[in-house]
Copies of this chain bind each other. A is one copy, B any other.
Amino acid sequence: MTDMPTLQDVYAARSHVYQYLKPTPLHHYATLSEMVGAHVYIKHENHQPVGAFKVRGGLVMASRLSEEQRKGGLFTASTGNHGQSIAYGAKVSGIKATIAVPEGANPGKVAAMRGLGAEVIFHGKDFDTAREWIMKVATDKGGTFVGPTDEPLLHGVGTYTLEILEDLPDVDVILVPVGAGSGASATSIVAKSINPKIEVIGVQSAQAPAMQLSWKSGDLVSAQMETFAEGIATRVPFENTQIIMRKYLDDFVLVDDTEIEEAIRILLEYTHNLAEGAGAAPLAAALNMKDRLRGKKVVLVMSGGNLSLERLKMILSR
């Protein structure tokens, strides 16, 4: 791997990110701290304009295109937040975005992509099918395909971890959800480069453990993908983020979907923030590792808030 991103790449991405976005807040919550037995802070990436951290990456990607690439437009596949990020970056840069989504994609996320001016095309049963198809379309039309773990995206999303370290320089542990791994990779590069003692722990659903199994085994292992949390639903692992996470991540844990749903309920009640499954997974993990976190300063990355109203109703009616 010759081009593993560095802290310097993340610093270089900041000006592109802050041209359009403001830093998100890092809030301390007394009630969550009591529940976990630690000093619990939430990094509110759910407060971003598209409701998820990925928008930082889309802005950096769009800023790096040549004039020819700008004309050809951006093509990608997404279950939602990655697509919104590319749509947002394309919109503010005056570029066309075409996004393939699997059938049954989160309707709120699809509406948001269209609201940002992107062309959204439903294709295939899951992310990987949609992705293979749109890659061919991009080639046929002379456009640029953007994969969910492309380097400029990692540079952009790394900026939220700089903000964490600016606001809470003595953070002990950062818990971050893992889907394709862009957030966790960038978080661990930034945190470890600034202070190697900071523990960075990845979280995935036990109902979609491909990235965790791959990290544990050292191979690239596909797995079942049955979680409701589309932000961390990965069937086929991504190699570049695996390489980074093997170098930098301290641990990688699984939580059950039922634990994620309970975390969504707790977050709504005590922080008044709507988290999507991925965004609630770090709290679910923290509640499972109280002994390990006791007394520490712990940051939970609330990666996004784009939960469908339908799923919320199901969770609250239990």
Contact = CB atoms under 8 A, between A and B. Distances in A.
A22 interface: yes
Interface residues of A, number: 36
Contacts of A29: 115
Contacts of A27: 49
Interface string A23-55: 101011111000000000000101101010000
B115 A31 contact: yes
Nearest to A30: B115
A317 B312 CA distance: 11
A112 interface: yes
B116 A30 contact: yes
A22 to B, nearest CB: 6
Nearest to A48: B25
Contacts of A269: 108, 309
A11 interface: no
A273 B270 contact: no
Contacts of A46: 272
Contact of A274 (B22, B108, B268): B268
Nearest to A304: B272
A162 B313 CA distance: 37
Contacts of A115: 29-31
A306 B31 CA distance: 14
A183 interface: no
Contacts of A23: 22
Contacts of A116: 30
A271 B265 CA distance: 18
A23 B18 CA distance: 13
A272 B25 contact: no
Nearest to A273: B274
A226 B43 CA distance: 37
A305 B269 CA distance: 11
A316 interface: yes
A278 interface: no
B268 A111 contact: no
A312 to B, nearest CB: 7
A307 interface: yes
A114 B31 CA distance: 10
Interface of A: 22-23, 25, 27-31, 44, 46-47, 49, 51, 108, 111-112, 114-116, 265, 268-274, 276, 305-307, 309, 312-313, 316-317
A-B interface, 9 closest residue pairs, ranked by CB to CB distance from nearest: A30-B115, A272-B305, A269-B309, A51-B272, A27-B49, A47-B47, A272-B274, A313-B316, A272-B306
Given A268-B274, A272-B307, 6 more contacts: A22-B25, A25-B47, A30-B111, A272-B276, A273-B305, A313-B317
20 contacts: A22-B22, A22-B23, A25-B47, A28-B49, A29-B115, A30-B111, A30-B114, A30-B115, A46-B272, A51-B271, A108-B272, A111-B270, A265-B309, A268-B309, A272-B305, A272-B307, A273-B274, A273-B305, A313-B316, A316-B316
